[in-house]
Amino acid sequence: MEVLETGESFEEIHGDFKYAHTLIVYRVGDNVYHAITKSRCRFAAEVKVEELSNVVLIPTTTYCPLFPSNYTRAPDPLPPNCYIKRPHLISYDRIHDTPNASRISERVLKEAEVCEILKLHPHPNIAQYLGCQVRNGRITGICFTKYSDTLMHRVNPKSRMKRAFIYDGRALKNPDDFLYGVERGIRHLHSLGLVHNDINPSNIMFKEDTDEDTPVIIDFDSCWPVGESLEGVGRTFEWYNESVQHSLPSNDIDALDEIREWLRDSGTKHFKFKD
């Protein structure tokens, strides 16, 4: 058994959120399964097969879409500096018995479609797409150049919540230049009729091949054409306006302003988005 993903689930009891169980996604041979365990498993080695319950086989068709012949196939073998983004299946238990059972597959194909556009219109502040990894005619992963570190980890390694974090001013060589680079990447997306919709410190990384702090925007599974509905689209808690349910350029600009405020070396900050 190879454990692919784990995640803790909590439930509200008398106004308090308490641990309920741990979600597990694992592989046996060519099959992938979703299950739960009552044990809290911090590491994959702690997962015990005999403790798993609610085991559900995840059909390949629900997370690996057919590979369109006009899309880019990733190099084989893959270059050493390659990151393979694979579908997240930890939430499959919520959709497997619903009309949305193929939603994950649809999102993978949608992200690949966006990446094909970005391949035709590259930008130094946008992650470099290398193509789709394909097996048996289906997309199993989307490949990108691998980058060194996220902005979140670089400046906030203890992962403090947004309002508890105070930037000490040492992690970035020139914050203004860095944020201007992020803005250039955002404006490039907008010029293509796309909105990222999930700009946050974990979706901004650093290029390794430069002495400067060159930012690179990653993660395009929430990237939607201007005007489209964002119903059901995953975005990052604390970093978006929950009242906005459409893909609008202001979503990205407001999120960048939120990051700019977050990086102020002051205990008095004025955030736009509620916690």
Model pLDDT for residues 45-66, shown as the tens digit of each residue: 778 888 899 999 999 999 999 9
- Where are the extended beta strands (E) located within 30-69? 31-37, 53-58
- Rounded to the nearest 5 degrees, what angle is found at the Cα of 236, between the Cα atoms of 230 and 242? 50
Tell me what pLDDT residue 210 has: 63
Tell me what pLDDT residue 18 has: 85
Record the pTM: 0.89
Asked if pLDDT for residue 41 goes beyond 80, the answer is no
Tell me what pLDDT residue 238 has: 87
* Sequence letter at residue 90: I
Asked if pLDDT for residue 265 goes beyond 80, the answer is no
Which of 114, 115, 94, 118 lies closest to 104, judged by CA? 94
Q: Length of the chain, please?
A: 275
Per-residue pLDDT reduced to its tens digit, 183-236: 999 999 999 999 999 999 999 999 876 667 899 999 999 999 999 999 888 888
Asked if pLDDT for residue 13 goes beyond 90, the answer is no
Residues in Cβ contact with 181 at an 8 Å cutoff, skipping those fewer than 6 apart = 124, 125, 214, 215
Tell me what pLDDT residue 46 has: 79
Over residues 244-264, the mean pLDDT reads 94
- Rounded to the nearest 5 degrees, what angle is found at the Cα of 90, between the Cα atoms of 133 and 232? 90
Tell me what pLDDT residue 223 has: 96
* CATH class, 151-262 region: mainly alpha
Highest mean pLDDT among 4-18, 240-254, 261-275: 240-254
| Contact of 90 with 23, CB cutoff 8 Å | yes
| Contact of 116 with 71, CB cutoff 8 Å | yes
Tell me what pLDDT residue 211 has: 66
Tell me what pLDDT residue 122 has: 96
Tell me what pLDDT residue 16 has: 81
In percent, the amount of the chain with pLDDT more than 70 equals 97
What one-character DSSP code corresponds to residue 172?
A: -
Nearest 10 degrees: CA dihedral of 238, 240, 243, 248? 180
* Choice between 68 and 17, residue whose per-residue pLDDT is larger: 68
Tell me what pLDDT residue 162 has: 83
| Contact of 171 with 155, CB cutoff 8 Å | yes
Asked if pLDDT for residue 70 goes beyond 90, the answer is yes
Tell me what pLDDT residue 104 has: 92
SS (H, E, C) 90-155: CCHHHHCCCCCCCHHHHHHHHHHHHHHHHHHCCCCCECCEEEEEEECCEEEEEEEECCCCEHHHHH
